Amino acid sequence: MSRTGSVLVTLLGLAALTFMIGRLLPLDPVLAVLGDNATPEAYQRMYVQLGLDQPLIVQFGHYLLDLARLDFGNSLLSGRPVAEEIARVFPATLELATVAMILGTGIGVPLGVVAAVNRNGWIDHLARILSLVGYSAPNFWLGLMGLVLFYATLGWVGGPGRVDFIYEFDLQPVTGFYLIDAALSGNLALLGNVFGHIILPASILALSALAYVSRMTRSFMIEQLEQEYVVTARAKGLGLWRIVWLHVFRNIAVQVITVVALSYAFLLEGAVLTETVFAWPGFGRYMTNALLSGDMNSVVGCTLLIGVIFVALNLVCDLLYRILDPRTR
């Protein structure tokens, strides 16, 4: 089966699974629209209007036809198209996760390399402690502690939300990425404010990515450092860091990319608690609210998007493998 075919089958399977779960969960989509106090007549009317009186297979057929037109249906809560809602909230999460990923990878990869080269040295111990915190401390707790310390006590960063209220109306959304939109506006104070708001939640999120990326990079590196070609290169008189960055790192690049891509996908998907603590109007919080409110159209739309993200990142990884490792071509 071609690559495109397998991607389509994967997404179709995901759509079928989430659709069925959505219909079988004991949540009432009509109540999500009408509220708890609707009359039986209004309830029945909405039941028919939402197509819930149709057999499940017919409902699924309609759903697939809509999906083919990139129509995820309307949010039961707001009545607006789900695609439009996701397009509104997703940039906030993408921006947060991207900054977190840049921080996590930018620090995590070099840290993992240096820790491997200086095994059991102080940098290795530091990397281990950072990993331990990143793995074990819940983001929710770290977020609150970070806010208390850096926002409320020291005043080094902005508070919850993407920007202070006084700038709310200065920011003209162009791309939905506030850092870029603020930069395009040329207003340095606004940009500083946006940066001040994103740096703490992104750092908290980055910690978990950093923990994963640095530990994996370290172990890949250690494995390679024990290979014969490294010993030979050293015997020939090549400097250690030259060997590490020019030869060894190239050999582990494919593995590191996989780890980074996986972390990125998890960051995009898993920013829910961080978004809640930081009042960050993003995708994770949108999906959680949709789930708790029984807005299954939105839940299915979000689930499919996550599926697409994983598939897309896999494709990107495959492409990079081919570029970096000729054996995979």
Q: Which of residues 241-280 bind other proteins (CB under 8 A)?
A: 276-279
Determine the size of the site formed for other proteins (CB under 8 A): 71
Query: What residues numbered 184-203 form the site for other proteins, per CB under 8 A?
Result: 184, 186, 188-189, 191-196, 199
Helices within 151-295 (DSSP H only): 178-185, 188-225, 228-235, 240-243, 249-269, 272-277, 283-293
**Phi/psi of residue 13, each to 5°?**
-60, -45
Q: Which of 222, 291, 311, 317 binds other proteins (CB under 8 A)?
A: 291
Q: Which CB sits closer to other proteins, 8 or 189?
A: 189
Judged by CB under 8 A, does residue 172 bind other proteins? no
Torsional sign, CA 177, 183, 186, 187: positive
User: Could you tell me the smallest distance in angstroms from the CB atom of residue 65 to other proteins?
Assistant: 19
Q: Sign of the CA dihedral 38, 40, 41, 42?
A: positive
Query: Does residue 135 touch other proteins according to CB under 8 A?
Result: no
Which residue type occupies 206?
Answer: A
Beta bridge partners of 81: 74
Q: Which is nearer to other proteins, 193 or 217 (CB)?
A: 193
- Cα gap 86→73, rounded to integer Å: 12
Name which of 89 and 113 has its Cβ closer to other proteins: 89
Identified binder of other proteins from the candidate list 9, 12, 16, 166, rule CB under 8 A: 166
Residue of 152, 231, 246, 323 that binds other proteins (CB under 8 A): 152
- CA-CA distances (angstroms) from residue 91 to 55, 305, 327? 36, 13, 36
Interface map 14-43 toward other proteins (x if CB under 8 A): -----------xxxx--xxxxxxxxxxxxx
Candidate ranges 127-135, 175-183, 255-263, 307-315; the one touching other proteins (CB under 8 A): 175-183
What is Dmax (Cα atoms) for the chain?
Answer: 86
* Amino acid, res. 157: V
Residue for token digits 């582990």? Answer: 252
Q: Which of 7, 10, 47, 88 binds other proteins (CB under 8 A)?
A: 88
- Please, what is the minimum distance in Å from the beta carbon of residue 19 to other proteins? 18
Tokens at residue 220, please?
């890949």
Does 165 engage in binding with other proteins (CB under 8 A)? Answer: yes
Q: Under the criterion CB under 8 A, does residue 183 sit at the interface with other proteins? A: yes
102 binding other proteins? (CB under 8 A):
no
Task: Please tell me the distance from the alpha carbon of residue 19 to that of residue 286, in angstroms, as a whole number.
Answer: 18
